[in-house]
Amino acid sequence: MPQIVLVNPQIPPNTGNIARTCAATGTELHLVGPLGFEISDRYLKRAGLDYWPYVKLHYHESMEAFQTIHQQRGGRLLGFTVRGSFNYINYQFQADDWLLYGSETTGLPATVLSTCDSTLYIPIDEPGVRSLNLSISVAIGLFESRRQLGYLT
């Protein structure tokens, strides 16, 4: 099953909402530091409500630490960015994909994007809107990958 990777997330409620989505779908959630908050942040916990026991949470202090785990487990790194090369809806997901998302303020760093097997974008019709909320973007990418792979029943 695809996994979610948040690289340097900054806003606790977004991460809490993503954790809740991961709990509901049984999806592993990887947080790559540095984080813009403490894991014990009350806003993070509040957004995740009482679902934290159901979150398969992994914390990696740095991108290098995450890369070690990724190399051990394998799979493609798919970076979601407004400047992605492929529309996510037309992309063929695989069960061992890692879906990477950057911070709310800066997105994925160029150094991370350069390690990705592919970069994907979510189309936005209104040119004045730069991007979608991080938790919405994660849900869109996760559910499309799960739909393609037959995980939605």
In sequence order, which residues have a C-beta less than 8 Å from that of residue 99 and are 6 or more positions away? 2, 3, 4, 5, 78, 80, 138, 141, 142, 145
- Per-residue pLDDT at 39: 75
pTM: 0.94
Amino acid (1-letter code) at residue 49: L
135 is in an annotated binding site: no
103 is in an annotated binding site: no
For the chain, the structural domain boundaries read 3-148
- Per-residue pLDDT at 140: 98
CATH number of 3-148, picked from 3.40.50.10490, 3.40.1280.10, 3.30.9.10, 3.30.70.20: 3.40.1280.10
- Per-residue pLDDT at 42: 67
- Per-residue pLDDT at 99: 98
How far is it, in rounded angstroms, from Cα 75 to Cα 6?
16
- Per-residue pLDDT at 41: 56
69 is in an annotated binding site: no
- Per-residue pLDDT at 53: 84
Q: State which residues of the chain have pLDDT below 50.
A: none
